[in-house]
Structure 1
Amino acid sequence: MSTITRSPSPFFRCLLFFLLLMVCCRRISASPRKNVLFIVSDDMRPQLGAYSGPNFPSPIHPQMITRNLDRLASESLLLTRAYVQQATCSPSRTSFLTSRRPDTTHVYDLKSYFRKVGGNFTTLPQYFKKHGYESVGMGKVFHPREASGGDDPPSWTLPYYHPSNKPYWTTTKRSWYAATPHERKKRPLPDEQIVKHAVKMLRKLAPKAKSGQKPFFLAVGFYKPHLPFVFPEEFLAMYPPSEIHLPPNPYAPENMPSIAWCDYGELRDYDDIARLGLSGDINTTVPSNVTLDLRRAYYSAVSYIDSLVGTLLAELDHLGLAQSTIISFVGDHGWHLGENGEWTKHTNFEQATHAPMMIRIPGLTDHGIVSDQLVEFVDLYPTIVEAAMLGTLPVCPEESSHIEVCTEGTSLLPLISSNYTERKPYAFSQWPRNGTMGYTIRTSRYRYTEWPKFRSYPVYKPIWSALAGVELYDHQIDPEENRNVANATQYATICSKLKLLLHTGWRDQQNIQRLIFKYNV
C-alpha cells in the first residue's frame, strides 16, 4: 500500500510564512536596542599602540602605552586615517556632533554657538534623545560655556555633569604637572571625577537598558591630554627620560607660506613657557630640554586617559552591557609636539588634522577591522545612527540652516564589509587666519592647501582669486610635510588637478571621486 504525501496548499504556505514572520518580528522588537558609549578625548593625536604603522603621527616616539585603547581598537572598526574638519575644540566638536562642516555651522572660534549662527541642528545625542534614549553628558563633550549655550541643553535628558575640581587643576602657572597621591586624595583630578560619575551613571542606567525599557546614550568627555598636561605622577615612570626623543624635524616646512604658521600662543601663555621669551615666530624653536619634558608629560597624560577608558570598559563588562553597547572613541583633533617647529593645533597640517577614531559595534566588529580609507569626522554621526538601527540620514542640501537633521558626511558601515569598495578618496579640513580661510584637501598621496580671502557673514564663501598662499605636500616621499612643493615645476600638473578638486568641494561627491580616480592623486 503506497502512501501519498501532499504538499501544503499555497494558502497554507502563506499562512505559515506569515506566522513565522510575526514570531521573528516579536523577537526583534523585544530585544533591547543598542546603547551608545560616546567617548571624546581632548587634543589627542593618534599616537596609540593600535596605530603603529605607516599612519603613525611621527617616526620618533617611545612605545606609547595605551593598553585599554588598543584592546578597544582590537574589537572595533579602527580608522587609521580619520581627519577633523577644523583643528580646534569648538569648531571640530560642533562639526562632528552635528555632522556639518564649519562653513555650514559657521563656527570657526571658541565663542560662536551653532544654534545662533548656523541653525537649530539636531545633535548626535539629541537625535538619540528624540528616539527614546536616556541622553547623559559629562565633562567636555561640546565646548563649554557660550560656545554651546552651556553644554547645549537640548541634547540631554538628565542634568549635565562638570567635575568640581577642574578650576583648581586648570592653571596657567605651569604647562604640565605630575600630581602626587596625597594631592589627588585631597582633590581628585577632574577626569578621575568624570570617570567616577560615569561609572555611577552606568550603574543607574543599566537595569532599564538591559530590560529594553530605556536604552542610553552616555557621552563622556575627558579633558586631557589638553594643556596643562596634568596627570598622576605614577604615569611618568612609564616613560623614562632616556626613552624620550626630540622630533626629527624641528623646523618649519621649506617654502611654507607664512599664513600657514601658528605662533602656538596657547602654549606660550603658560608662565613656565612665557619665561623663555619665545616669540612664536617661524623657526623659533622651544629649547630641547623643555621640548623633551613636554613630550614626556604629553605621553604620560595620554596613558592616564587610557587607564580611565579601561575603567569604563571594565564597568561595562561587569554590568553585562558590553554586548549591547556601541562604543566610539575619538580625539577632537591632533596635536603638534614640536614637529615642524609647531606646537598645539590651529593648523591645516597632518599633525593637527589627523585624529584617532574607532567604533565598536557588537556582533559586527568583534574581531577588529582596520581600515586605512580616508574618512572625515562628519562621518561619525551617520555611522553611529545606522549602527544603532535608527535610520539613514539624508545628505544636507547646500542651504540647510532650516533643516534639523541631515549629514554632510557618509556612513562608515560599508567599511565593515569584506567586499567594500573605496568610499571616500578625500578629506577636507580648513583653518581661518587673518581674514583668509585655509582650505585643504587630503588625498591618498597629497595634502593640497589654498589660503583665499574669506567672506564671512552673510555668505561664508572663499574668494579663490585672492590667495595668500598655496601648499602641496607629497606624502609618498615626504610624510612629515617638510617641504612645500606647490611651486616646483615637476608638480605643476598635480597642483592644477588638486586645485580643481579643492574648488569642486565635497558636495559634488560623484564628480570629485571621478576626478580623483582619473587623475590618480
Structure 2
Amino acid sequence: MWIWALLIATIFPSITQGAEPQKNVLFLVVDDLRPELSAFKGDQTIVISPNIDQLAAKSLVLKSAYVQQSICGPSRTSLLTGRRPDTTLVYDLNTYWRTAGGDFTTIPQYFKENGYRTAGLGKLFHPGYEASRNDDPISWTDAYYHPPDKKFWATDESWKAVTEAEYQANPLPDTQIADEAISRLNDMVSDALDGTQPFFLSVGFHKPHLPFVFPEEYLDWYPESDIKLPDNPYAPVDMPDAAWSVYGELIAYTDINNLLVTGDINTTIPDSKTIELRRAYYATISYIDGEIGRILEELEYLGLSNNTIVSFFGDHGFSLGEHGEWCKKTNFEDAVHAPMMLHVPGETDGGIVSEKLIEFVDIFPSLVDAAGLPSLELCPEDSSNNATCTEGSSFLPLIDDPDRTWKSGAFSQVQVRINGKNAMGYTIRTEDFRYTEWVRFNTKTNTMNWKQVYGVELYDHRIDPKENVNRATDSNYDTDIVTLSTMLHQGWRYSQP
C-alpha cells in the first residue's frame, strides 16, 4: 500500500501539495554513548561511524550538550518530561515520576495528544514496572516492543565478540530492534505520505551499554595497536572524595572482579584490560552505527526522509578510564557530556554546528517547535500540578544563528552518600569552567542545604579541558568562584537564553 502512496506523491505532486503534512519524528536514542564521534571530536577520535556522520552532515550538531544527571533512569525521565531531577524527583533507577514528582506529560505523549501515531521500541524509558510502569503505556498509541530473546545474549564478562554463525542464528537485541523499526516504518508509511497521520517512532538502542556485545567483524575495524590508554588515569589533583564514584557496574563482571579491582580513588584496572575494554566499546559503537544506518536507509527508500525530523542523542556520557573512573554516575565532563543532533528537513540540510551550551531538557520544546506543534510554556517554580510545561528552552533559533547569545550555564547533578548521609553534587558548566558543590540533601523534603558543604570543585576548561586539577582553593580564582557559586545557587532560570 505504501508503494501506491509513494507513486501518487511522486507522479501527481499537485494532489498532495494542498496542506503541508505534519512532519514525522524519528527519535533515536543510544545508551551510554559519549561524544566519541567524528562530528564532535573530528580527527581526535578513532571511532568509525559513517552513518551517524552522514546524519550529522545534514543536522544541527550541538557539540556542548549536557545531561541533567548521568544515570540512565533519571536522565531519560528528565529529557522525556522536559523537567529537571529536582522536579521529577527521580534520582535512581526505580522511581516513577508520575507518582513521585507529578503526572508530567512526556514527549511521545504530547505528540500522541496532537494526533500522532506513537510507537516505542527498545530502551527509551528506563524499563521495568517501578521506573516506568513498563514503558509508560499512556505515551503510546501502539504496543511497546522489546526483543523477545534479549536474555540469550547475557554474559558474565564485560564484553563479547559474537561470531557470524552465532549472530545469524540469534540476532543481537539491537539488530532485532532495528528490524522492528524498519517493519514499523513500512506499516506507517502510507498514512504518513498521504497526510492521514504523522508518526513519532522512538528507537532505543541498548548498546554500547555494558556488557559490550557486538559482531566480531567490528574488532577488525580497531587494531589493538591503534587503541590508546587515557593520558590521565588518576583522580584530579585536590579532588574531594565526594566526587568519586566506585564503578560497581563494571566491577560486577567476572573478568573484572577476578582482577581484584576495588574501584577506590587513584586505583585503576590493568592497562591491558583498559585497552581491551576501550576497543570493545568502540566496536560496539560501530555496530550500533550500522543498525542506525539500516533504519535511515529505509526512511530514504520509503520516501519519508524529506518530511521526517530525526533526533539523535546518547542518554549520557561514559568514562573509559579517565581519572581512573569507569561508567557514569559522576559530574565529570566525561559522564555528563553527550552527543546530540537534530535533522529538520529543509532547515538543517547543509549541516550546522553550534558550540552553545545545551541541556537535555531542551529536547522536548525543540522537537515540539520543529514539528510545528503548540509551543510549551516555561514551568512555574512549582509545577507539580502542571501536566505540560518545560524547564528547558527550544534550541531551534540556533539553526538560523548558531553563534547567537545563548545560555550562560548548563546544570547537572548526582545523588550520593557521604559518611552515611545523603548528599547531592550540583554542577554548572559554563563556557570556561565547571563548578561543583557537594552539599547535604534532605530526601524527605527533597531540598539541598547550601551551607552544609562536603566539597567544592572548580575546573578551568581554558587550560584544563580534561579536568585534571581542582582549583577551588586557588586564590587566583576567588572572583570566579563567587560568580559561579551565585549562578549555581540561583539555578537554571537565571541562565536561560
Deviation at 1:326, TM superposition (A): 0.2
The counterpart of 2:20, out of the listed 20, 25, 31, is 31
What is the aligned partner in structure 1 of residue 439 from structure 2? Answer: 452
What is the aligned partner in structure 1 of residue 469 from structure 2? Answer: 483
Matches within 5 A, 1:499-514: 499-509=485-495
The counterpart of 1:272, out of the listed 244, 255, 272, is 255
**4+ runs of 1 displaced by more than 6 Å?**
26-29
Q: Which deviations, in whole Å up to 9, do the C-alpha atoms of 1:394-413 show, x marking residues without a partner?
A: 00011111111100000000
Q: Is the CA contact (8 Å cut-off) linking 2:409 and 2:495 kept in structure 1?
A: no
Structure 1 pair 463/28, CA: closer, same or farther in 2 (3 Å)?
farther
Q: Which deviations, in whole Å up to 9, do the C-alpha atoms of 1:118-143 show, x marking residues without a partner?
A: 11111000000001111000100000
Q: Which deviations, in whole Å up to 9, do the C-alpha atoms of 1:151-196 show, x marking residues without a partner?
A: 010010010000012112123x110000011111221100000000
Matches within 5 A, 1:270-309: 270-309=253-292
Q: Is the CA contact (8 Å cut-off) linking 2:56 and 2:351 kept in structure 1?
A: yes
In 2, Cα distance between the equivalents of 1:229 and 1:165?
A: 17
In 1, Cα distance between the equivalents of 2:279 and 2:163?
A: 17
Q: Which deviations, in whole Å up to 9, do the C-alpha atoms of 1:294-329 show, x marking residues without a partner?
A: 000000000011111110110001000000100000
Secondary structure of the 2:177 match is: helix
Matches within 5 A, 1:422-441: 422-434=405-417, 435-441=422-428
Identity %: 55
Q: Is the CA contact (8 Å cut-off) linking 1:414 and 1:420 kept in structure 2?
A: no
In 2, Cα distance between the equivalents of 1:34 and 1:89?
A: 28
Deviation at 1:493, TM superposition (A): 1.5
What is the aligned partner in structure 2 of residue 336 from structure 1? Answer: 319
Q: Is the CA contact (8 Å cut-off) linking 1:43 and 1:331 kept in structure 2?
A: yes
What is the aligned partner in structure 1 of residue 458 from structure 2? Answer: 472
In 1, Cα distance between the equivalents of 2:167 and 2:97?
A: 36
Deviation at 1:85, TM superposition (A): 0.1
Q: Is the CA contact (8 Å cut-off) linking 2:428 and 2:434 kept in structure 1?
A: yes
Q: Is the CA contact (8 Å cut-off) linking 1:176 and 1:228 kept in structure 2?
A: yes
Query: What is the letter of the counterpart of residue 112 of structure 2?
Result: K
Query: What is the letter of the counterpart of residue 123 of structure 2?
Result: K
The counterpart of 1:317, out of the listed 278, 289, 300, is 300
Secondary structure of the 2:492 match is: coil
Q: Is the CA contact (8 Å cut-off) linking 2:353 and 2:402 kept in structure 1?
A: no
Query: What is the letter of the counterpart of residue 84 of structure 1?
Result: V
Query: What is the letter of the counterpart of residue 406 of structure 2?
Result: R
What is the aligned partner in structure 2 of residue 237 from structure 1? Answer: 220
Secondary structure of the 1:507 match is: helix
Secondary structure of the 2:493 match is: coil
The counterpart of 2:76, out of the listed 83, 93, 116, is 93
Deviation at 1:391, TM superposition (A): 1.6
What is the aligned partner in structure 2 of residue 442 from structure 1? Answer: 429
In 2, Cα distance between the equivalents of 1:90 and 1:439?
A: 18
Deviation at 1:31, TM superposition (A): 2.0
Q: Which deviations, in whole Å up to 9, do the C-alpha atoms of 1:410-458 show, x marking residues without a partner?
A: 000000113862121210000100111000000000000000101123x
Matches within 5 A, 1:97-116: 97-116=80-99
What is the aligned partner in structure 2 of residue 122 from structure 1? Answer: 105
Q: Is the CA contact (8 Å cut-off) linking 2:457 and 2:470 kept in structure 1?
A: yes
In 2, Cα distance between the equivalents of 1:419 and 1:342?
A: 33
CA radius of gyration, larger in: 1
What is the aligned partner in structure 1 of residue 4 from structure 2? Answer: none
Secondary structure of the 1:206 match is: helix
What is the aligned partner in structure 1 of residue 200 from structure 2? Answer: 217
Unpaired stretches in structure 1, ≥5 consecutive residues: 1-25, 514-521
TM-score of the two chains, using structure 2 as the length reference: 0.94
Matched, 1:46 2:35: yes
What is the aligned partner in structure 2 of residue 140 from structure 1? Answer: 123
Matched, 1:228 2:228: no
Query: What is the letter of the counterpart of residue 477 of structure 1?
Result: I
Secondary structure of the 2:65 match is: strand
In 2, Cα distance between the equivalents of 1:218 and 1:29?
A: 25
Secondary structure of the 2:110 match is: helix
The counterpart of 1:493, out of the listed 479, 483, 491, is 479
Q: Is the CA contact (8 Å cut-off) linking 1:337 and 1:344 kept in structure 2?
A: yes
Query: What is the letter of the counterpart of residue 339 of structure 1?
Result: E
Q: Is the CA contact (8 Å cut-off) linking 2:122 and 2:206 kept in structure 1?
A: yes
Query: What is the letter of the counterpart of residue 173 of structure 2?
Result: P
Q: Is the CA contact (8 Å cut-off) linking 1:44 and 1:331 kept in structure 2?
A: yes
Deviation at 1:28, TM superposition (A): 7.8
Secondary structure of the 1:355 match is: coil
Structure 1 pair 295/420, CA: closer, same or farther in 2 (3 Å)?
closer
Secondary structure of the 2:338 match is: strand
Secondary structure of the 1:366 match is: coil
Q: Which deviations, in whole Å up to 9, do the C-alpha atoms of 1:338-389 show, x marking residues without a partner?
A: 0111000000000000000000000100000000001000000000000000
Matched, 1:149 2:138: no
Structure 1 pair 319/27, CA: closer, same or farther in 2 (3 Å)?
closer
The counterpart of 2:448, out of the listed 453, 462, 475, is 462
User: CA RMSD of the aligned region, Å?
Assistant: 1.4
Query: What is the letter of the counterpart of residue 353 of structure 1?
Result: V
Deviation at 1:52, TM superposition (A): 2.1
User: How many residues in Structure 1 have an aligned counterpart in Structure 2?
Assistant: 478
Q: Is the CA contact (8 Å cut-off) linking 1:78 and 1:370 kept in structure 2?
A: yes
Q: Is the CA contact (8 Å cut-off) linking 2:157 and 2:211 kept in structure 1?
A: yes
In 2, Cα distance between the equivalents of 1:107 and 1:445?
A: 29
